[in-house]
Every structure is written in C-alpha cells, then in structure tokens.
Amino acid sequence: MGQHDHSHDTSVNIRTAFFLNLGFTVLEIIGGLWTNSLAILSDAVHDLGDSLSLGLAWFLERYSKRDQDRRFSYGYRRFSLLGALVNTIVLVVGSLLVLSRAIPRLINPEHSNAPGMILFAVGGILINGAAVLRIKDSKSLNARVIAWHLMEDVLGWLAVLIVAIVLVFADIHILDPILSILIALYVLYNVVKNMRETLSLFLQGVPENIDIAAIEGEIARIGNVLSTHHTHIWSLDGEHHVLTTHLVVDGSATKEQVLRIKEDVKQLLKENEFSHVTVEIEYGNADCSMTQAS
C-alpha cells in the first residue's frame, strides 16, 4: 500500500472512531442519569472530551496531508502532532474534573442501578473495542494517542462491568466512586506519559525509537566515508522523520562515488520512515561550513 493510501486510511479510521465515540457519549450521559452511576457519568465527561479531541484530531489529520508551500516548506504534517497535543490536554482536564466529582462521593456514596450499569458496560466494551480495532495499526502519533485512550476506555468499562456485577449481589455502593477515581488516575498517568513524547517531538527532540549514535555508526561504515558529524534528527509528526548530516569523504572521491554514498545513506534510512534526508559532503580536511555556527 502506498504512503498516500496509508495516510488516507489513518484519517478514515480516526473519523470512524470519532462518530462511534460521539454516539456512545450521548447514550452514556442518558444512561448515567438513569442509573445514577457516577462512574458512568464520569466516563461520559471523559468521552465527551475524547469526542471533541477526536473531531479536532480528524480535522488536523486531514489538514496535515496538504502539500508543502511557501509558508510550510516541509508540508503540514506537524498539524497532526498538534492534534495529539490538544487531545492530550483535553484528557488531562477531563481526568481532573472526574477526580473533583468522585472524591466527595467517597464520603457520601449513592445507590446505583447495577443492571443498567452492566448494560452500558457491555455496550462500552463493544463500541470502544470496535474503535480500537479500526485505529490500532495506524503509525502517526496522533492516531497512537487516540488508540491508547480508546483502549483505556475499554479497560475502564471492563472495570465498570465487574463492579456492577458485584453490586447486583452486594450493596457496596462506595465501589462506584472508587472505580471512578481509579479510572481517572490510570488515564491521567498514561496521558501524562504520552504528553512527554508529544512535547519532545514539538521541541524537535530525536524520536524515541531512533538511536542517532547507531545511525551515525552505520553511515560511517559506508564505503569512502571517513567520518560523520552535525547529524540532526527530528520528526514532523512522530511517523515521518527528517535527517541532516555532514559526511567527510576522501579528497580524491569521484562524483560517481559521492552520488553512490548519498544513495547508500538514503537506502540505509528507508526502514526508519525518513521522509526528508539531506547529506552534505565535505572533502578530506576541508573546514566544515557549520563550525563557526556551532
């Protein structure tokens, strides 16, 4: 499958996840009020934030496919990364809101409709599970953040199902706010962890799955390459990476040998999703043009 088709599938998968999530959120709000379950209402607030950020992520994922122009010479892929960041911030706020409502319920727990909770928990597992299956193979950070959140929703609903089954047989209604707090803390932990990677990419850090020293070592082993320096790697969206490097070659290297070196570097980097590669060649002991700038 070509790169364009892969990108189109990512956008379609996010759109599908958006409509599934939004539709179930409306049902959750109704069901939470009907069952008087704070766990369900809390998850409805969480899913409403998810739906808004999924909608924005869908829009930005589509927008990020625009070709480069005079304003954005690398194209618009970083708008996908912006979607991941907004999605993360919304979920942090949503998790804190859930905690603010659930903690007081520990003191004054209220009765919940256990059979209704079971019904909505099964629905939540099926719908969020379907959304996870649609998006789990996407590679962009935007899509991966969404997939993790949807997977957390599946786990959250599984926990609601277990608690609801317990409530059918035992009147322990403090389990509902306890569950709500545990879900919120689990989501908050994973969201903050994802935020670290997102912010790192925004600040043009080297992607976590890329070992810059190893890549420099492999490049240095290419024939006629004496050394390498000023190697810089960053990512446009967590999926498409950029590399620039300076290679020192023997002063007697021919034009054909230099062209071969550049081609070997590009072939070496193909497996790591590098979409932009710039190689500057220096001969022998010639001074590096970047020495003064560094």
**Arithmetic mean of pLDDT over the chain:** 77
> Cα separations (Å) of 113 from 37, 122, 124, 159, 166?
7, 15, 16, 16, 12
Residues 111 and 226 in one domain: no
Q: How many CA atoms lie within 13 A of 221 on its CB side?
A: 7
Is the pLDDT assigned to residue 273 strictly greater than 80? no
Q: What is the domain extent for residue 269?
A: 212-283
Tell me which of 173, 202, 231 is where a domain ends. 202
Find the CATH number of the domain harbouring 110.
1.20.1510.10
Is the pLDDT assigned to residue 101 strictly greater than 80? no
Phi-psi region of 36 (alpha: psi -120 to 50; beta: other; left: phi over 0): left
CA 82/CA 89 separation, integer angstroms: 11
Q: How many CA atoms lie within 13 A of 181 on its CB side?
A: 12
Report the side by side order of strands in the sheet with 225-235.
225-235, 241-249, 274-283
Residue 294 lies in a domain: no
pLDDT band at 293 (very low <50, low <70, confident <90, very high): very low
Q: How many CA atoms lie within 13 A of 20 on its CB side?
A: 22
Structure-token match 């099926």, residue found: 126
Residue 233 lies in a domain: yes
Residue 78 lies in a domain: yes
Mean pLDDT over residues 189-215, rounded? 83
Is the pLDDT assigned to residue 21 strictly greater than 80? no
Residue 171 lies in a domain: yes
pTM of the full predicted structure?
A: 0.61
The residues near 10 (Cβ < 8 Å, ≥ 6 apart) are 61, 135, 138, 139, 140, 143
Residue 292 lies in a domain: no
Residue 53 DSSP label: H
Over pLDDT 70: what percentage of the chain?
Answer: 79
In this prediction, residue 141 carries a pLDDT of 63
Residues 186 and 223 in one domain: no
| Tens of pLDDT, residues 224-245 | 888 888 899 988 877 778 898 9
In this prediction, residue 107 carries a pLDDT of 80
* Single-letter residue type at 200: S
The dihedral over CA atoms of 91, 97, 101, 102, expressed in degrees to the nearest 10, equals 40
Residues 45 and 112 in one domain: yes
Task: Tell me which residue of 188, 157, 194, 148 sits closest to 43, measured CA to CA.
Answer: 157
Residues 234 and 181 in one domain: no
Residues 219 and 191 in one domain: no
Residue 136 DSSP label: T
| Tens of pLDDT, residues 121-157 | 888 888 878 877 777 666 666 666 677 767 777 877 7
pLDDT band at 221 (very low <50, low <70, confident <90, very high): confident
Mean pLDDT over residues 57-70, rounded? 70
Residues 145 and 266 in one domain: no
Residues 118 and 7 in one domain: yes
Residues 164 and 278 in one domain: no
pLDDT band at 42 (very low <50, low <70, confident <90, very high): low
Find the CATH number of the domain harbouring 221.
3.30.70.1350
pLDDT band at 99 (very low <50, low <70, confident <90, very high): confident
Residues 159 and 279 in one domain: no
CA pseudo-torsion sign 32, 38, 41, 43:
negative
Task: Tell me which residue of 198, 219, 196 sits closest to 274, measured CA to CA.
Answer: 219
Tell me which of 168, 202, 236 is where a domain ends. 202
Tell me which of 202, 226, 241 is where a domain ends. 202
| Tens of pLDDT, residues 159-193 | 778 888 888 888 777 877 787 788 778 878 877 87
Residues 150 and 25 in one domain: yes
Higher pLDDT, 210 or 152: 210
In this prediction, residue 189 carries a pLDDT of 83
> In total, how many domains does the chain have?
2
Residues 122 and 72 in one domain: yes
Is the CB of residue 29 less than 8 Å from the CB of residue 17? no
The residues near 228 (Cβ < 8 Å, ≥ 6 apart) are 216, 219, 220, 245, 246, 247, 248
Residues 57 and 152 in one domain: yes
CA pseudo-torsion sign 132, 134, 138, 143:
negative
